[in-house]
Structure 1
Amino acid sequence: MPLINVIPGNKIPTAPLNVRMPMWHMPGWLLLIVWTVRGLARLVVLSVRYWWLTMPVGVAVWFRAEYGSFVVLGLVLVITGGCLAWWRLHPASWLRFGWHPIVGRWRRLWVYRRRWASAMATCGLATVFDGDRYIPRLGRVRSSRYGDEVTVRLLPGQIPDDWATAAPRLAYTFRLRDGRAYATSKPDRVTLRFLRRDPLAGLIQPLPIPAMPDFTALPLGVREDGETYRLRLTGSQLLIAGATNSGKGSVIWSLIRALAGGIRSGLVELWVFDPKGGMELAAGQPLFTRFAYEDPDTMAGVLEEAVKRMRQRAARLRGITRQHIATPGDPTIVIVVDELAALTAYITDRKVKERIREALGLLLSQGRAVDVHVIAALQDPRKEVLPFRDLFPTRIGLRLTEKEQVDMVLGDGSRNRGARCDQIPETTPGIGYVALDGVREPVRVRFSYLTDTDIAQLVRDYARPGGAA
């Protein structure tokens, strides 16, 4: 029996309010027309979106209808022959403008678009609001020899760090080696870089030595996109951190090799400190202006001498220029310390330790403008070992033993942005991540490896003036 409402004080019953929406019955022929129009509109949209597939198919169908199958086959052979000739005559332009764009479009359709919705949901990048599901929009896919670069439009409330955290999971979802996320110039977009093949898997041979070093772009190794990595030394200090056998020597010798042209011409002076008794760097002694390796007191004296040179240069340039320009008579001074912790933490003589810390602090804080640069390597990045870690604008993190050490070396949040130094295999020394002051994302690099023969040849060819080769 239906219920009725009775208003208090009123004897007349009232019927319940009907809140149901009326049901419209659509004839079958009209429903068929609606479905047909929607299907045609969808077909037009897909045809325009995937014009690189529909246009060749349409042209082939038209040629076949007009001229027959043999003409279509001949046209295909002509186009194939032209592409082969282009590839043989100029492979670089063929890969850039021909093959890689085709691969990028195909991978966008077959690899990413096909799994995009499920990947966004399982990786926590889709969201639901008011009963509707929202998925980030897949943009352009650019392919290269080693990987893919995918542009994505962010949902409201998302930031690039959300994608940086999910990038490794996305890489596994799309059956790829590795994935990292980068912010773009547009605030509503993010770029995902997926690695299909690692160009850093093998050893990197020594790079060509420039006749005169460019201090803004010193060639040291190869990036994960296969291009040469160039380090900016001008106005910077460099910290190298890595566990035992992680490849710190590769970074140091790659840097020395890149500076070799300036060493021979007198444009660069190397002041080298090897607290391990000279075992690591003694082979390059003819390249060095100063080489200290004996005892902490001697090394403290050489550092204080470098401070004196720095102050003299600053006094000479004061009021004339804000940045020193190297000349053979007034060269760039590069101070290389192979194991910094041996000078700042492991010395028992407190007075010598304080002298070293004071000298290093002055060189790091005041040396950049007067062209005095410190290149320091160490294994333990803790604050008590390296009290002036923040004075290094450029940092290189090689293989590290703990994930907490990544942020110690490269800065807070670096590991979440893709610098997984603790996951670098022991079998790939020389691979690391470079973080620059003011640049959000670290760069993955493998530095070139110099054998003893390469070092001996470098010394013979580029010994400094007056140095015995």
Structure 2
Amino acid sequence: MPLVNVIRGERIEPAPFNVRTPYLKVPLWLVLVGWTVKYCFRLGVLLVKHWPVTTPALLLGWLYLRFDWYGPVVLVGALAVVGGAWFLAHRPSFERFAGYPVLGRWRRWTYRRHWLPAMATSGLAVTFDGRAVIPVLKRVRCNDAADVLTIRMVTGQIPDDFAKVSERLAHTFGARACRVAAGARPDLVTVTLLRTDPLVATVEPFLVADVPDFTALPLGRREDGKVYALRLFGTQVLVVGATDAGKGSVIWSLLRAMAAGIASGLVQVWAFDPKGGMELAAGRPLFARFACDDFEAMADMLEEAVATMRERTARLRGKTRQHVPTIGDPLIVIVIDELAALTAYLTNRQLKDRVKAALGVLLTQGRAVGVHVIACLQDPRKEVLPFRDLFPTRIGLRLTEEAHVDLTLGEGARDRGALCDRIPRSSPGVAYVVLDGGPTPMRVRFSYLTDNDVTDLAQTYGRLRPVATGGEAA
């Protein structure tokens, strides 16, 4: 027969067990003590978590209770005097250790106010088990041009997910541009939001070093205000840009950085200007080899470079893995102003094949023995430049199409912030650089040398040498 749950007075069919929730009487004083401990613990956690705000507040409160209003006023006045003196005496250290950390805390609070809707509308929020899970903003660092956000990603996300919506994030937070890079840990991503453009002004030429440092040749300014230095050792450089994008700024900045080595004989520059010499002819005294209108001479020069490379390889084999330039065995830098004129637009099929064969060997084997190629062109398509992937260092100036960005700097470079197609025509010399092994593009502006600067450079550091090949004398 049906049983009755006598404890609750409910009829249950069947009711094999009579269960009652145990009732424990707790004294009121014990409840109050428990609540006090609980909320004191939470208050302590809150004070520690937000110490940049709570510590000054507690200090000012204690000073007020101890010395009345004189205490807080004297403290604030002393800090203002010390801070002002520090700012006037050495502004960079003040901004680094005082100004930017405080600004970063303030910016972190402003970002967190709009963080949830920003993540949801940009597609970075993830729905799991019926609730929204969003990336966590861990830290904000500031400088005079950008905010650097360190974000902990949701499980299953990768930095490319943020790179694909970088433009949305820039517009959402009112930034001029957005860069995305992998963080220090696998679960972190770094998002750089640029507030201002430090590359608006033209970059003046740098002073010529007495001895060039081939691991760090100063060529321009980075968007964070630091000097952009090119590591020439162990690399080949490809420069791609539309007409009037500033390819000349890259070439002349590089030649200026190596000028002292050219004058001493530590560096030999072999220059190719297939456009008739309009760009490079002004610097002929700087060149050990120069050719501008004789394509057969250009092919001969490239094959001579291959022969020099092979001779060095045989001589250095088993002794060293990186050639060290000397006056007797100088660094050879091959500068080609318009590579497409030699690889795609040359009508003589035999000469074209010779050029391609020589360039292929130089690009694959020349770096270790001190033979480097600096090549410029306008069209980065594969049919124009079949060995594009043999250039570890690539520089993308202003480009005419979105597709050219990834062709120049690598797949996904535009999503990661390399907006070469949006560089204005009024900013020649502004470029995005991708180094071998680093997928994040770096925005730089190369120094600008006027015609008078080029003439003075050639007259001051040039070495007039006769050319045994078919090229013009330099």
Aligned to 2:297: 298
2:234 maps to what in 1?
235
- Give, in whole Å, the separation in 1 of the partners of 2:86 and 2:174: 32
Q: Could you tell me which residue of structure 2 aligns to residue 252 of structure 1?
A: 251
Cα deviation, 1:166-203, whole Å, max 9, x if unaligned, reads: 22211221112111111023101011111111111221
Matched, 1:447 2:443: no
Question: Percent of pairs identical after alignment?
Answer: 57
- Match of 2:255, as an amino acid? I
Which residue of structure 2 lines up, in the alignment, with residue 364 of structure 1? 363
* Gap runs ≥5 in structure 1: 1-13, 24-28
Tell me the TM-score normalized by structure 1. Answer: 0.90
Partner of 2:96: 96
Residue equivalent to 2:268: 269
> Aligned residue for 2:309?
310
Aligned-pair distance for 1:50?
A: 2.2
Q: How does 1:107-256 map to 2 (within 5 A)?
A: 107-109=107-109, 111-256=110-255
Alpha-carbon spacing, 1:213–1:50, altered in 2? closer, same or farther (3 Å): same
Aligned length: 451
Residue of structure 2 in register with 1:412 after alignment: 411
Query: Closer, same or farther in 2 for the Cα pair 1:33/1:196, shift >3 Å?
Result: farther
Describe how 1:378-397 pairs up with structure 2 within 5 A: 378-397=377-396
Shift in CA distance, 303/38, structure 1 to aligned 2, threshold 3 Å: same
User: Relative to structure 1, is the Cα distance of residues 194 and 42 closer, same or farther in structure 2, using a 3 angstrom cutoff?
Assistant: farther
Mapping for residues 272-351 of structure 1, pairs under 5 Å: 272-351=271-350
Map of 2:376 onto structure 1: 377
Give the 3-state SS of the residue equivalent to 1:164 in structure 2. Answer: helix
Deviations 1:52-90 (A, max 9, x none): 122112211211111121232122111111011111222
In the other structure, the counterpart of 2:62 is 62
How far the C-alpha of 1:276 sits from its partner, in A, is 0.8
Q: Give the C-alpha shift of residue 241 in structure 1.
A: 0.5
After superposition, what is the alpha-carbon deviation per residue over 1:351-410, rounded to whole angstroms, capped at 9, x for unaligned? 111111111111111111110000000001111111111111111111111111111111
Offset, 1:417: 1.6
Aligned equivalent of 1:461:
460
Counterpart code for 1:249: G
TM-superposed CA distance for 1:296, in Å, is 1.1
Whole-angstrom CA distance in 2 between matches of 1:174 and 1:417: 17
Conserved 8 A contact 1:272-1:290: yes
For the residues of structure 1 that align with 2:58 and 2:422, how far apart are their CA atoms? 50
TM superposition shift of 1:208 = 2.2
Q: CA deviation at 1:213?
A: 1.1
- Could you tell me whether the CA contact under 8 Å between 1:265 and 1:465 is conserved in 2? no
User: What displacement does 1:48 show?
Assistant: 2.3
Once the two structures are TM-superposed, the CA of residue 274 in structure 1 deviates from its matched residue by 0.4
Cα distance in structure 1, aligned partners of 2:264 and 2:420:
37
Deviation at 1:15, TM superposition (A): 6.6
Query: In 1, Cα distance between the equivalents of 2:285 and 2:39?
Result: 77
- Alpha-carbon distance, 1:44 to partner: 4.3
Closer/same/farther in 2, CA of residues 37 and 200 from structure 1, 3 Å limit:
farther
Q: Residues of 2 paired with 1:466 and 1:301: CA distance?
A: 18
For 1:285-324, what per-residue CA distance to the aligned partner results, in whole angstroms no more than 9, with x for missing partners? 1111111102211211111121222222222222332221
Distance 1:236 1:338 in 2: 18
Distance 2:79 2:55 in 1: 15
Distance 2:36 2:464 in 1: 84
Counterparts of 2:34 and 2:350, CA distance in 1 = 89
User: Can you give the 5+ residue segments of structure 2 that lack an aligned partner in the other structure?
Assistant: 1-11, 22-27, 467-472
Tell me how far 1:419 sits from its aligned partner. Answer: 1.3
Whichever residue aligns with residue 80 of structure 1, its letter is A
- Letter of the 2:461 counterpart: Y
**Aligned-pair distance for 1:258?**
0.8
